[in-house]
Each structure stands twice: as structure tokens, then as C-alpha cells.
Amino acid sequence: MMNTSKRMKEITLGNLKKGEVTLIELDEIYKEMGFLFIVNQGKLTKIKKETIH
């Protein structure tokens, strides 16, 4: 388990667009904040906030 509070501060949109963030890190962000990351052919295309009904 990584230190998510420190690691999440280091992640930027630039890192996401360049593909410098691992799937494990994206999963941690999803669990912590509820953001979904839409990826096409290994590149980030969209970020969505999960809506819970």
C-alpha cells in the first residue's frame, strides 16, 4: 500500500496525459475521491466524477 496522501499530491493532469501514472495509483484515487479515468489505447481521454444515486 502506498502513501496515498503524499502520492496524490504529486499527480497532475500533465502526469495523467503523459501516462506517467500507474493503474494502481489511479485505483487509489478512485477509492479515495471517486474519480473515473477513461482511457483509450493507453492514453487518458476523460476524467469523470462518479455519481452515486
pTM: 0.57
Ordered mean pLDDT values, 10 residues apiece, the chain (53 residues): 61 80 82 85 82 72
Q: What pLDDT, on a 0 to 100 scale, did the predictor assign at position 30?
A: 84
**What is the per-residue pLDDT for 2?**
53
Residue ranges making up the domain that contains 44: 4-49
Does the CA dihedral 32-14-49-46 come out positive or negative?
negative
Beta carbons within 10 angstroms of residue 48's beta carbon: 10
Strands (DSSP E) contained in the chain are 35-40, 43-49
How many folded domains does the chain comprise? 1
